[in-house]
Amino acid sequence: MTQLALFDLDNTLLPCDSDYEWGQFLARIGVVDSQYYAKQNERFYQDYKDGKLDIHEFLRFALKPLSEHSRAQLKEWHDAFMNEVIHGQLRQQALDLVKRHQDAGDLCCVVTATNSFVTRPIVERFGIEHLIATEPATTGDNPLANFTGEVKGIPNFREGKIQRVHDWLATQSLALDQLPRSYFYSDSMNDLPLLEKVSHPVATNPDARLRNEAAKRNWPILELFA
């Protein structure tokens, strides 16, 4: 039977936060007001690490720049972002972890709160077909339609990840509680709801709060970037 391997992305498969780094990149190249954006970006990132992020407030902030430029321009910037920032953050240990699950025939999927525009090209670099991410709304059904700055559907954050995973598995004619084994790799206490739902939670490069929780529950702790 199918086994499932779910991976968070930021600070789990990557030793950085792609959402934060994208914001910093936009500030560096002058797309957004660098002083204001860098300050807000830092505030939201700290709120995330502290477990008190208002996801809707953050998404209004993070998705606004996507709505102000054409898809062609955004792609040009994202290509540069991949080359200048992400390429140097790809680690063999993380690539090997994914490959072990793929070689075992497991169904692999990245489950991230970061929006799909930022993350899909990164996930493709890991050779993973499936991505569950926060989806930016667009002005139409055309895959290249411009972004509106709003969120489409449920943000893929905390308990929202559970719903989105259930919905995605249903499209695969699968159900989480019927799988013989399900893994979820994450660094963040924000992912505790989904970690509790899989049969094999793995605290991966965990933050201090998740590290403590994993120790209490005897969950394995994996240090990919030690």
Question: Catalytic: 207?
Answer: no
Q: Sort 12 into a burial class: Cβ within 10 Å, 0-12 / 13-18 / 19+.
A: buried
Task: Tell me the residue range of the domain where 36 lies.
Answer: 18-88
Q: Which of 10, 17, 106, 191 is catalytic?
A: 10
Q: Which of 88, 123, 143 is a domain's end point?
A: 88
Residues 96 and 63 in one domain: no
pLDDT of residue 38: 82
Q: Checking DSSP bridges between strand 130-138 and strand 147-152, what pairing results, if any? A: antiparallel
Helix (H) or strand (E) segment spanning residue 137 = strand 130-138
Mean pLDDT of the chain, nearest integer: 96
Question: Catalytic: 10?
Answer: yes
Rounded to the nearest 5°, which phi and psi values hold at 225? -115, 20
In the numeric block, which tokens belong to residue 26?
A: 């936009």
Q: Is the pLDDT of residue 80 over 90?
A: yes
Q: What is the pTM of this model?
A: 0.96
CATH at residue 57: 1.20.1440.100
pLDDT of residue 192: 98
pLDDT of residue 177: 94
Q: Is the pLDDT of residue 1 over 80?
A: no
In the numeric block, which tokens belong to residue 104?
A: 């075992």
Q: Which of 8, 17, 19, 106 is catalytic?
A: 8
Residues 67 and 133 in one domain: no
Collect all residues with Cβ–Cβ distance below 8 Å to 146 and sequence separation of at least 6. Answer: 67, 70, 71, 138, 139
pLDDT of residue 226: 73
Residues 124 and 140 in one domain: yes
Work out the pLDDT band at 37, boundaries 50, 70, 90: confident
pLDDT of residue 41: 86
How many separate domains does the chain show? 2
pLDDT of residue 141: 85
Cα 63 to Cα 151: distance, rounded to the nearest angstrom: 8
What digits encode the pLDDT tens for the residues 211-222? 999 999 999 999
Q: Is 133 helix (H, G, I), strand (E, B) or coil?
A: strand
pLDDT of residue 221: 98
Q: Which long-range contacts (CB under 8 A, 24 or more apart) does 181-185 make?
A: 181/3, 181/4, 182/3, 182/4, 182/5, 182/6, 183/3, 183/4, 183/5, 183/6, 183/101, 183/106, 184/6, 184/7, 184/8, 184/111, 185/5, 185/6, 185/7, 185/8, 185/12, 185/13, 185/97, 185/222
Residues 83 and 186 in one domain: no
Cα 158 to Cα 56: distance, rounded to the nearest angstrom: 13
Q: Helix, strand, coil % (nearest 5) of the chain?
A: 50, 20, 30
Residues 184 and 125 in one domain: yes
